Amino acid sequence: MTDRNPLGQARLGILMLETRFPRILGDIGNPDTWPFPVAFKVVRGASARRVVVDRADGLIDAFVAAAEEMVREGADGIATTCGFLALYQRELAARLSVPVATSSLMQVPLVQALLPPGKRVGVLTVNAAALTPAHLVPVCAPADTPVMGTEGGSEFTRVFLGDAPTLDVAAAAADVIAAGEALVRRHPEVGAIVLECTNMVPYAARLRAHLGRPVYDIYSFLTWFHAGLRPRDFGAV
């Protein structure tokens, strides 16, 4: 079989929203975040607000077309930069010829299986009101999964949902930490956290240290996803 990727490694194709906010180290859209080759393609018209609040209305064909172009260019798997696209996981997977990982929320069932009886997975998101059971059910997450958003803070939601050109990293981190505290205060049964928002990854380590609970995000998900696209060769045969 001819390797479609001249790099000799699986290349992950990441569909980007059309945004201007900063992509700091750890953000899915920063190429230096990844320990393997990735390729990016912007889906024109796919603003954060249109995808999160308006449910990507009228954009699915554009996402499919961009993904198909990436596959032709050599991508072995497709991901996206917004967890709210879980809403279209099944449709995108059905229409593309390579594996598709739309959302960090796809980890919720797996993480739940890791937890002891009585513990649940909780989710942090950029906008709790917009994240509904309709987003959770397509990725086999319980419809009643505890969810908390950062919209009560001063910076994170303002920047990433409002597409602001500058970011106060310390204030954004404080918003994520505060949302995590609120989540476990309201739902003390939460034993692990999944970050819906792909822009929350830079704050995951601090959140884990602060709450004393495992934190899973798009980085943990896509490193696993990539490992299956091209397993490590240990030279055994």
Locate 7 and state its tokens. 């790099």
- Rounded to an integer, the average pLDDT of 217-230 is 95
**Cα end-to-end distance, the chain, whole Å:** 18
pLDDT digits (tens, 9 = 90+) for 86-100: 999 999 999 999 999
Residues 6 or more apart whose CB falls under 8 angstroms from that of 232 comprise: none
What sign does the dihedral 38-73-95-44 (CA atoms) show? positive
In this predicted structure, what is the pLDDT of residue 11?
86
User: Quick one: pLDDT band at residue 236, thresholds 50, 70, 90?
Assistant: confident
Q: ∠ CA(160), CA(166), CA(168), 5° rounding?
A: 85
The domain spans of the chain are 12-103+221-229, 104-218
Residue 175 has pLDDT above 80, yes or no: yes
Distance CA 145, CA 233 (A): 38
How high does pLDDT run on average in the chain?
94
pLDDT digits (tens, 9 = 90+) for 33-65: 999 989 999 999 999 999 999 999 999 999 999
- 18 — alpha (psi -120 to 50), left (phi > 0) or beta? beta
Same fold, 12-103+221-229 and 104-218: yes
In this predicted structure, what is the pLDDT of residue 76?
94
Q: pTM for the full model? A: 0.94
Listed range (5-9, 25-29, 160-164, 225-229) with the worst mean pLDDT: 5-9
Residue bearing the bigger pLDDT, 172 or 73: 172
Residue 145 has pLDDT above 90, yes or no: yes
pLDDT more than 70, % of the chain: 96
**Architecture per CATH, 104-218:** 3-Layer(aba) Sandwich (3.40)
In this predicted structure, what is the pLDDT of residue 1?
30
- Rounded to an integer, the average pLDDT of 6-30 is 87
Residue 9 has pLDDT above 50, yes or no: yes
Locate 148 and state its tokens. 């908390």
- Rounded to an integer, the average pLDDT of 77-89 is 98
Residue 6 has pLDDT above 70, yes or no: no
User: Could you write out the three-class secondary structure of 123-182?
Assistant: EEECCCCCCCHHHHHHHCCCCCCCEEECCCCCCHHHHHHHCCCCCCHHHHHHHHHHHHHH
CATH 3.40.50.1860 given to domain 12-103+221-229: yes
Helix, strand, or coil here: 41?
A: strand
In this predicted structure, what is the pLDDT of residue 7?
42
In this predicted structure, what is the pLDDT of residue 237?
78
Helix, strand, or coil here: 126?
A: coil
Question: Which alpha helices (DSSP H) does 96-164 contain, by range?
Answer: 108-114, 133-136, 156-162
